[in-house]
Amino acid sequence: MTAAIVDEASPRTLDFDALYRAARDDVYAYAATLLSDRAAAEDVAAAAFERAYRRRDRYDARRGSPRAWLFGIARNAALDELRRRTRAASAELPPPAVEPDPGEAAELAVRRAAVRTALGRLPGRERELIALKYHAELSNAELAAVLGVSVSNAGTLVHRAMTKLRETLDA
pLDDT value of position 137: 81
For residues 88 and 37, the answer to whether their CB atoms sit within 8 Å is no
| Domain housing 139 | 2-170
pLDDT-derived band of residue 81, with 50, 70 and 90 as boundaries?
A: confident
| pTM, rounded to two decimals | 0.58
Over residues 104-129, mean pLDDT: 84
- CATH number, residue 64: 1.10.10.10
pLDDT value of position 45: 95
What domain count does the chain have?
Answer: 1
pLDDT at residue 65 tops 50:
yes
pLDDT at residue 10 tops 80:
no
pLDDT at residue 35 tops 90:
no
- Which is more confident, 39 or 106? 39
Alpha carbons 152 and 72: distance in angstroms, whole number? 19
- Mean pLDDT score of the chain, rounded to an integer? 81
pLDDT value of position 90: 39
Alpha carbons 134 and 168: distance in angstroms, whole number? 18
Over residues 43-61, mean pLDDT: 91
